[in-house]
Structure 1
């Protein structure tokens, strides 16, 4: 038997023996910016897996590593060390062309800025990733996705003819149209009013319940995070805490303690939480 210490694993969702690979897995991921004395570790040894059909919110104070986490997990940036796998594919083994194909075909993105092309209709914006991938759009699938987001009567409208909430629904439909292994959402309700934000979050929640979609959402908003099944908290680039079946008050309370975590030494080098392997 090797004397090498076992690295704790933090798993979000239902991990079963013999089950397929998680939708996303990060193992000992570090991301360092700068050199020498100016080095900053935006991520410091994050090990975490997201199982299929899970909805997870990632939270933390400014500078905690949330954006870097999303960029590395989604293949938008390469970690300094450690590994990231999406749908069982180790991203480090892919060249730039293969990585681009994986992002187009297996990863969906929804951002605070809707990123719609103003000259295209709703339907054309939704099918754009398929066209980039050289794939023919399944008209039935596209119609189904447009109906799911409640925009059937807006399919031929252009973005300037839509409300902010409707534009975000287009962005969600565009992400879902490719049947992604995982959908990453970065502050998806940051530009929306409270009621519209709740509608958009309910739509994401429904895609998990009915389609088994995997969603990883970065947010600073406890209300938004309460729509998720799990909340993972980051502080100083490390996993600081986790909350299952979250409610708003509990999320806000955990957030107030992250500053203390960031200053405290980690026993054994990494935190371990009940129920996370």
Structure 2
């Protein structure tokens, strides 16, 4: 995979259109959308239900291809790759965190973190494993199984798993959805710290204004288009903007 570098951009979508369905039943999920996610930034994506948030995330991460337009991730043009190439790029340069923790209950925290690389037949350096757990503040929970961890700690194990191979971009899809308020706040502090301390690029889809307020900026979607952005967001400001969008939907 050749990379010709994007001046400071970890992910770029250029004039991306994506439709679901066919014929008269087709729905335009993304409508000629152009957006950049700078390296070392933390971006939250918000919008009413059906606005295209999840489709944007899937196209940006190479999980799906647009109908038209280009997607560039870490300097690589995704739309020019076959499925095997996209799978390799996701494995090597992308991290995923979802609402579901997806931890195996019989494995310890460190075994869960190492599992994807082991399944890929790759050796897991001990120092990298310790470093990933330390990055999320769980180095002292390495030998605990999921049942011995709180929900927030389990989600942080999932983040450590996503960080183990040092991804160019960490994509998070509603990562606080299954957490209580205290656990969600701590987990969001972990994501914030990854950007501030380690320069990790984070792109997060969320419906929660409090979660979005941890980001450097919030992008607002409606009908597959970006209809606004907020730098240095506050929970109150985000909530007010979302209320306007939902009333207009």
After TM superposition, is the score higher than 0.5?
Answer: yes
**Of 220, 236, 240, the match for 1:249:** 236
Matching of residues 165-180 of structure 1 within 5 Å: 165-180=152-167
Partner of 2:217: 230
Partner of 1:96: 83
Counterpart contact for 2:6–2:74, Cα < 8 Å = no
**Of 33, 45, 64, the match for 2:51:** 64
SS at match of 2:9: coil
SS at match of 1:227: coil
| Cα distance between partner residues in 2 of 1:121 and 1:260 | 46
Q: CA deviation at 1:19?
A: 6.5
Counterpart contact for 2:112–2:161, Cα < 8 Å = yes
Q: CA deviation at 1:152?
A: 2.1
Q: CA deviation at 1:169?
A: 0.6
Q: CA deviation at 1:20?
A: 3.3
SS at match of 1:69: helix
**Of 8, 13, 18, the match for 1:31:** 18
Counterpart contact for 1:235–1:261, Cα < 8 Å = no
Unaligned segments of structure 2, at least 5 residues: none
**Of 124, 137, 140, the match for 1:153:** 140
Partner of 1:139: 126
**Of 71, 74, 83, the match for 1:87:** 74
**Of 210, 222, 227, the match for 1:240:** 227
**Of 200, 208, 215, the match for 2:202:** 215
Q: RMSD of aligned C-alpha atoms? A: 1.5
Counterpart contact for 1:235–1:259, Cα < 8 Å = no
Counterpart contact for 2:12–2:35, Cα < 8 Å = yes
Q: CA deviation at 1:148?
A: 2.5
SS at match of 2:62: coil
Alignment partner of 1:109 is 2:74: no
Counterpart contact for 1:104–1:133, Cα < 8 Å = no
Unaligned segments of structure 1, at least 5 residues: 1-17, 263-277
Alignment partner of 1:128 is 2:115: yes
Change (3 A) 1:196 1:104: same
| Cα distance between partner residues in 2 of 1:32 and 1:148 | 38
Partner of 2:33: 46
Alignment TM-score, normalising by the size of structure 1: 0.85
Larger radius of gyration: 1
| Cα distance between partner residues in 1 of 2:44 and 2:182 | 19
